[in-house]
Amino acid sequence: MAINPEQTITDVTDLYGDPSRFLISDLCSIIEDYMNEDQVREVYNAYLFGAQAHDGQYRKTGEPYIYHPISVARILAEMHMDSKSISAAILHDVIEDTEISKETILEKFGEDVAELVDGVSKLTEFKFKNKKEQQAINIQKVLMAMARDIRVIMIKLADRLHNMRTLGVMRPDKRRRIARETLDIYVPIARRLGINTLRIELEDLGFKAMYPMRYRILDQTVSHSGGHRKEIIKKINTALTTRLDEIGIEASVKARKKHPYSLYKKMRSKNLAYKNIFDVYGMRVIVDSVDDCYRVLGVVHNLFKPIPGKFKDYIAIPKENGYQSLHTVLFGPHAIPLEIQIRTVEMDKFAETGIAAHWLYKESSDGETVDVQARTREWLTGLLEMQQNAGDSVEFLENVKVDLFPDELYVYTPDGDIIKLPRDATPVDFAYAVHTDVGNTCVACKLDHRFAPLNSALYSGQTIEIVTSAVSRPNPTWLDFVVTIKARTNIRNYLKNLRQDEAIAQGRRLLSRSLARKDVTIEDLSSAALHPVLEEYGFNTLNQLLEDIGLGNRPANLVLKRLYPEDEEEKVEISSDDKARPLAIQGTEGMVVSYAKCCHPIPGDHIVGMLSKGRGLVIHQDGCKNIVNERSQIDRLVDVKWSEDLAGDYSCMIHMHVNNERGVLARLATIISDEGANIEHVEVEDRDGTSTIIAFLVAVRGRVHLARIMRRARRLKPVMRIWRAH
């Protein structure tokens, strides 16, 4: 149904009949408790507009489509979100599923509502390679919109919650896919923002959709087996309430129960049967002040013995999402462990609503809302940085998944400042958490005043000192052990830029070598000659073309032919010129020149280069079978030679056929070490019980160095034969 933007709807019954069918009266009754009359009218007008926009559309449940946005709006209204959020929730599918444009919403409801609706809308006008890319790009769009306005993710979470509530009408495979996406992405975001009421329901609905049988059995087991434990909770409740009354602390004491997904995760992670999980039920004590929290802690530790190592003070050191509470685990009656959480009224409100508390309790004067907002802004800033440095949307989404919320540990700087890090973090993660420049230049670390490797796993309470050097730079091997997204992103970004610089330099060498046949340099190329070539390849600058050549994506010979198309007939002459001007390989070219693992070329070997897409120039021995197979692709081959000014060590594989004698491997390793070579890898293959073939991957300086090692090894009596693998 086409909508006239100028039309004003005054009576929704013109569309569907009785408006109460759409629960608008229930929604209005909720928002009237905390909104003024003008704001309620704004929400109602959004409802009228949304109802007309979705006229004739139905959900798979058979209900009119408007049921869904109204339900999403009610979820947000129960969190006391503002009128703009509620209006945007009602209109959140209008751009995506109807002919209404963002401009129309902007005109009728203002910029805030239009931006919120646009932020939640999926990208439908693009064609995606696969479902994974589509998911990644759409989620990236939502997260980037969230970085501008946190209300976007609130609407998206409410939208996902109602979709999960009505997921039963979907095909089983689609139910599982949506549930997996919910558990992998939306649940961690809700946890990161501290919205626990919404997170818990999303977890249970996702669990139910993914594993319906497991959910049903676990839910029934909890329902049927709670009698004995409930009696224990009742006894503790009575004892604790009585004691708190005696010392004059006003407190609300209530029992809480683990929800099914939380139980399931614990059973899976710790390989426990349900009967061996004792914290299915727990208790929560809510008091008026922080002082009372610690007084109650003393009371419960006097009544029941605490379990050592199970006390956590999230009041002094809040969680990343702003959560605050005291947690302690006690030996209850019959030696059954029982967790007790102690918090203030405000902490309890924040624990349930998280970032939504900015709207729900914005009149609070204790500053906790400000703290939650500051933490959230810090995370959102990290998201923006992550997005800028990610290679594509899929990489960005994977980074987000890594960043969303592992367990935490707390370590100290030498000045006593507390740094919060995820579990399994390393000193490199710590260095980047202090400052990006500290991470980029770190060379060593001290853990509790003792030197330790940079890949050491940290634990809470350690004092960490980072040693830096102005000339040091990130090491690619750090990516094997860092866990924080800030460290990973900065290292990748540095290596990406480094690789880009090296690729440009390598491309300049290759193109200069080809241009030399025409007695032309790159600087001699005119804009008139370059522009058509750059336009044909889709580049804006010469550096982009040079980078493409350096990465092996575009042979320099082909670029030369595009620059001088009239000289196509000189192909044979050019080919012979190639051999007259081999490219000098120095061994220090970085990431865009690598050495083939099939033949392990070393200085002194006759070599040839092969351009490999994305990898740059790969150096092979001239007789390598992989090069022989590629001889037909002359444009990919580059004639190269070793430079006279070489540096570094080069890997080489040597095989030794030896008699089985005690200590022969150690003696061979000693010879290699004495000759100044490093053993990178060893493989031992038993032949016939009396002899063995030992393969050493050694780092040598060249053929002369290798020959010296092989000559000494041959002198050993157990060595029957020695040869180099090609």
Catalytic residues: 96-97
- Which among 533, 650, 537 has a CA at the least distance from the CA of 589? 650
Characterise 110 by phi-psi region: left (phi > 0), alpha (psi -120 to 50), beta (else): left
- Which among 304, 285, 307, 288 has a CA at the least distance from the CA of 296? 285
Contact (CB, 8 A) for 320 and 405:
yes
Q: Measured between alpha carbons, how far is 31 from 92 in angstroms, rounded to an integer?
A: 18
Query: Is 330 strand, coil or helix?
Result: strand
- For 506-600, strand residue ranges (E) read 583-585, 593-595
- Which among 231, 217, 355, 345 has a CA at the least distance from the CA of 293? 345
- Which among 161, 142, 156, 182 has a CA at the least distance from the CA of 88? 156
Q: What is the dihedral of CA 92, 396, 384, 422, to 10 degrees?
A: 110
Q: Measured between alpha carbons, how far is 427 from 439 in angstroms, rounded to an integer?
A: 9
Which run of H or E residues covers position 622? none
Within 13 A of 336's CA, how many CA atoms are on the CB side? 19
Residues facing residue 337 across a β-bridge: 331
Contact (CB, 8 A) for 618 and 594:
yes
For 68, 169, 474, 686, the CA distances from 63, given in Å and listed in that order, are 9, 12, 57, 72
Q: Measured between alpha carbons, how far is 420 from 429 in angstroms, rounded to an integer?
A: 10
Residues 140-163: b if buried by 16+ CB within 10 A, e if exposed: bbbbbbbbebbbbbbbbbbbbbbb
Contact (CB, 8 A) for 721 and 676:
no
Query: Is 160 strand, coil or helix?
Result: helix
Residues facing residue 315 across a β-bridge: none
Residues facing residue 719 across a β-bridge: 658
Query: Is 268 strand, coil or helix?
Result: helix
